[in-house]
Amino acid sequence: MNFYKPDCLFFKGDLPCKPHKESGYHCNNCPSYTPISKRILIIKLGAIGDVIRTTPLVTRYKTLYPNCKITWLTLTPAILPSGKIDEILKFDYASSIYLENASFDIAINLDKEKEACALLLKVNAKEKYGYVLKDNVAQPINDLANHKFHTGLFDDVSKANTQNYCQEIFEMCGMTYSGETYLLDNHNDKGYEWTSIDKSKTIIGLNTGCGDRWTTRLWPKEYFAELAQKLISQGFEVILLGGEQEDQRNKDIQALSGAKYLGFFSLSQFINLINQCTLIVTQVTMGMHLTLGMQKKIVLMNNIFNANEFDLFGKGEIVMPDKECLCFYRGQCVIGISCMADLPVNKVLESVNKLLTLN
């Protein structure tokens, strides 16, 4: 007879469980014993923004299967809220060996990377969704994944798509999306202090960068400076956001506008800084996903992506250049002059002021 219960949601196997550490219970007399209803594996490796916008699946599965145990494999474990996800694994050799020898009721792979597809092929699960390795390339495991797969292959299909990302991944898993929001830790418990920010004012963050891959998305820094000046003149507290890559850009914008630039920070600090803001103006970047994860108001500047892809949860507006973009899903502009120069400052400002009047 076993004196332990490995089917319990709290059972770890290699360490004492939480009920034992807190109350001294043993498995045979523990009032906290909670049998696992479903074991669910989600493989979503990266990038960070895509990991964040996949988290609504957790909410749905926790609703469908109370007491399910969710294991998530990713390249960026720090971005996931540990209180909502039972087991968070960093993608490496050790985790792969473990998962290849574990058993799940449901296993999902939402990445087309060959290593992720190969892993789903090897995982033992009663139900599998998403992509697997076939003929040495990523392919849909079943018809549910066809729509999302095709939008990634053909530009005309992608342009005609009317579903946002969450609708697509829910469909891949055989479900209908119902507006579940992103799960993201605001890191308020870390004790970060932002003493240089005037919190008596409405705080607006300008997320000024877009990374190296998709430079077609970049709004001119002179436009950011002009927007900051106009917002400051209206009495708002304006702070410039970005990572190390945007450091000089933000220093230049600060010099041109008088907006506050506090520097670049760790991921948890950056998330917490976003959480200080009422509204964020951003291009399509990781910062956009973090803003939505913090459920902040957002003005999203978009040119090269299908606007239907983004769910702003009723808290934002998408603004587009006045000139049609010719660079759908391209990282470099095909004509040499980005259409983002045809997104007027006043158009962005109008959306900011409109959103700030809404509850």
Assigned fold of 36-172: Rossmann fold (3.40.50)
For the purposes of burial, counting CB atoms within 10 Å of the CB of 348, is it exposed (0-12), middle (13-18) or buried (19 or more)? buried
Query: How far, in whole angstroms, is CA 106 from its chain's centroid?
Result: 22
* Each residue's pLDDT tens digit, 13-35: 999 999 999 999 999 889 999 99
* Each residue's pLDDT tens digit, 140-165: 999 999 999 999 898 888 889 999 99
The H or E element spanning position 255 is: helix 247-257
Tokens found for residue 211: 């990374």
Instruction: Please give the mean pLDDT across all residues of the chain.
Output: 93
Say yes or no to pLDDT of 135 above 90: yes
Assigned fold of 200-356: Rossmann fold (3.40.50)
β strands within the chain, DSSP E: 39-43, 69-74, 87-90, 103-109, 124-134, 137-140, 203-207, 237-241, 260-261, 279-283, 297-301, 316-319
Beta strands 203-207; 260-261: pairing state: unpaired
- Residue extents of the structural domains in the chain: 36-172, 200-356
**Residue 326 banded pLDDT, cuts 50, 70, 90:** low
Beta strands 124-134; 137-140: pairing state: antiparallel
The mean per-residue pLDDT over the stretch 91-113 comes to 97
**Residue 321 banded pLDDT, cuts 50, 70, 90:** confident
Quote the pTM value: 0.91
The mean per-residue pLDDT over the stretch 118-137 comes to 97
